[in-house]
Amino acid sequence: MSWNYAQPVTIRFGNGRIAELVKEINALGGSKGILITSPSFEKSGLIQKIVSDSQPLIKAVYSNVNPNPDITECEGCIALIREHQCDFVVALGGGSVLDCAKAAALMATADLPVSAYMDNASLLPAKGLPLIAVPTTAGTGSEISSVSVLSDHTKKVKKPLATPAFFPTLAIIDPELTLTVPPHITACTGMDVLCHALEAFWSRQHQPICDSFAINAIRLVMQNLKTVYDEPNNLPARERMAEASLLAGLAFTVPRTNCSHACSYPLTNDLGIPHGEACAITIDYFMRINAQADDGRLRMLAGMLGYGSASELADAITQLKKDIGIMPDLKTFNLTDGQIEGLVQNSQNPILKLNPVEITPAMLREMYNQMR
Ligand code: NAD
């Protein structure tokens, strides 16, 4: 066995720890910052509280990041960073906000437009502005990952960009911030956690440290996701899901995601399905395919989680999806043959090659046809 592991992000985890933000900004030596966030926190008053608590450190607020952030939103953040000569960035929100802020914090340090990096990620600068990432969903793990997923909606492209320079400086994970996430978003983001952990575990690039994170993340999701869906104010269960999200993020950063994430990009781009749900639609299908060629790892995983076989674990995931209102198939879209072909073509992202079983276009076509 030969493998590497590095994780450069400092992590603060616990209820109420958003209160430590100003102390952490001072520790970074930041003096002129931007807060990047989404409209829902304008309504909740959290933006106003953060800006007033951190006076005079935060000079600008960009509060218009939407799900599946577009490169124009990223350009908007970069323009504000330059206008106010910011020397640090705070990102408060779900994965969409964190990804947009990670990209802006890095790309603001160089002159190319965001679209140039979408076309060629090797042009990304080597070092960006210091970034404090505060996740408000239990989902993406973006606060500790080296990935930023951006969309160019005019070109109908959604792409993960990866570079070590995207790692935030610090992640403050405060599970209380997830109490306001509505049930369907809780379900979608929670399934994203499960997909990160499962895909990391079976990735061709799996390795033992990430395996440990993945196994624990899967266990936590299977034990707590239905609870947070049914009882949004259950703080202990929200804490466990925040922990699962972090562990799953740590689990996939080295092995990378693969089958379900590759398919999620066209499912979101072409059909508008939210990210976590787009991943969840195919995860149990791929688990059954991977179980057929299992070298014993999936059987071991199922056993450690208390299931008799990988197929029993796949059945439990199918049931969980049903329990939390995740769409089971694509019937509602009445897909044409042309749309199915588009999904097949656009699911062939390079990460698909990390799935342990080779997924051919014919297999994708069969899967999408079964789901239509
Ligand atoms: P999101 O950030 O798109 O947020 C979904 C919705 O929830 C938004 O309307 C948002 O405003 C709202 N919301 C967020 N937090 C809330 C809260 N506490 N209370 C009420 N509403 C809240 O959803 P997400 O699933 O966290 O992020 C998805 C994005 O992250 C996708 O673009 C996906 O591709 C990307 N992603 C990135 C990584 C990575 O490593 N960078 C990993 C997985 C996914």
If you measure from the C-alpha of residue 293 to the centroid of ligand 1, how many angstroms do you get, rounded to a whole number? 33
CATH code for position 131: 3.40.50.1970
Q: What is the pLDDT of residue 52?
A: 95
- Does one domain contain both 23 and 120? yes
- Does one domain contain both 48 and 145? yes
The sign one gets for the Cα dihedral 237, 313, 250, 106 is negative
Alpha-carbon distance values, 190 to 15, 252, 259 (Å):
19, 15, 18
If you measure from the C-alpha of residue 66 to the centroid of ligand 1, how many angstroms do you get, rounded to a whole number? 9
Please report whether residue 257 resides in a domain: yes
- Does one domain contain both 189 and 103? no
Q: What is the pLDDT of residue 157?
A: 87
Please report whether residue 192 resides in a domain: yes
Average pLDDT, rounded, for the chain: 96
- Does one domain contain both 109 and 251? no
Q: What is the pLDDT of residue 42?
A: 87
**% of the chain residues with pLDDT over 70:** 100
Q: What is the pLDDT of residue 160?
A: 87
If you measure from the C-alpha of residue 140 to the centroid of ligand 1, how many angstroms do you get, rounded to a whole number? 7
Q: What is the pLDDT of residue 311?
A: 96
Please report whether residue 1 resides in a domain: no
- The Cα–Cα gap between 108 and 102 comes to 10
If you measure from the C-alpha of residue 123 to the centroid of ligand 1, how many angstroms do you get, rounded to a whole number? 26
Ligand 1 atom closest to Cα of residue 158 = 34
- Does one domain contain both 141 and 173? yes
- The Cα–Cα gap between 138 and 190 comes to 6
Please report whether residue 267 resides in a domain: yes
Ramachandran bin of 45, using left for φ above 0, alpha for ψ from -120 to 50, beta for the remaining angles: left
Please report whether residue 4 resides in a domain: no
Write the residue with the smallest CA distance to atom 4 of ligand 1. Answer: 94
Q: Are 368 and 340 in contact (CB under 8 A)?
A: yes
pLDDT beyond 80 at 1: no
Write the residue with the smallest CA distance to atom 35 of ligand 1. Answer: 95
- The Cα–Cα gap between 183 and 186 comes to 5
Question: Which structural domain, as residue segments, surrounds residue 219?
Answer: 183-371
Residues in contact with 294: Cβ distance below 8 Å, sequence separation at least 6, in sequence order: 310
Q: Which pTM value belongs to this model?
A: 0.96
Ligand 1 atom closest to Cα of residue 65 = 11
If you measure from the C-alpha of residue 11 to the centroid of ligand 1, how many angstroms do you get, rounded to a whole number? 19
Number of domains composing the chain:
2
Q: Is 148 helix (H, G, I), strand (E, B) or coil?
A: strand
- Does one domain contain both 203 and 340? yes
Q: What is the pLDDT of residues 54-104, one digit of tens each?
A: 999 999 999 999 999 999 999 999 999 999 999 999 999 999 999 999 999
- Does one domain contain both 331 and 224? yes
- Does one domain contain both 157 and 251? no
Please report whether residue 365 resides in a domain: yes
Q: What is the pLDDT of residue 355?
A: 98
Q: What is the pLDDT of residue 156?
A: 87
Task: Output the ligand 1 site: residues, CB below 6 A.
Answer: 38, 40, 67-68, 93-97, 99, 136-137, 139-142, 145, 147-149, 177-178, 180-181, 185, 189, 192, 275-276
Q: What is the pLDDT of residues 181-227, one digit of tens each?
A: 999 999 999 999 999 999 999 999 999 999 999 999 999 999 999 99
Of 115, 146, 178, the residue at which a domain comes to its end is: 178
Of 137, 162, 178, the residue at which a domain comes to its end is: 178
Give the residue, out of 41, 106, 140, 151, with the most ligand 1 atoms within 8 A of its beta carbon, to mutate for a pocket test: 140
Alpha-carbon distance values, 274 to 7, 176, 184, 187, 277 (Å):
28, 23, 10, 11, 5
- Does one domain contain both 154 and 211? no
If you measure from the C-alpha of residue 12 to the centroid of ligand 1, how many angstroms do you get, rounded to a whole number? 20
Of 178, 206, 231, the residue at which a domain comes to its end is: 178
Q: What is the pLDDT of residue 159?
A: 87
CATH code for position 244: 1.20.1090.10
- Does one domain contain both 209 and 156? no
> What six digits make up the tokens of 75?
């350009």
Q: What is the pLDDT of residues 121-151, one digit of tens each?
A: 999 999 999 999 999 999 999 999 999 999 9
- Does one domain contain both 205 and 333? yes
Please report whether residue 220 resides in a domain: yes
Please report whether residue 245 resides in a domain: yes
Q: What is the pLDDT of residues 266-322, one digit of tens each?
A: 999 999 999 999 999 999 999 999 999 999 999 999 999 999 999 999 999 999 999
If you measure from the C-alpha of residue 94 to the centroid of ligand 1, how many angstroms do you get, rounded to a whole number? 3
- The Cα–Cα gap between 17 and 39 comes to 22
- Does one domain contain both 55 and 95? yes
Ligand 1 atom closest to Cα of residue 253 = 40
Write the residue with the smallest CA distance to atom 34 of ligand 1. Answer: 149
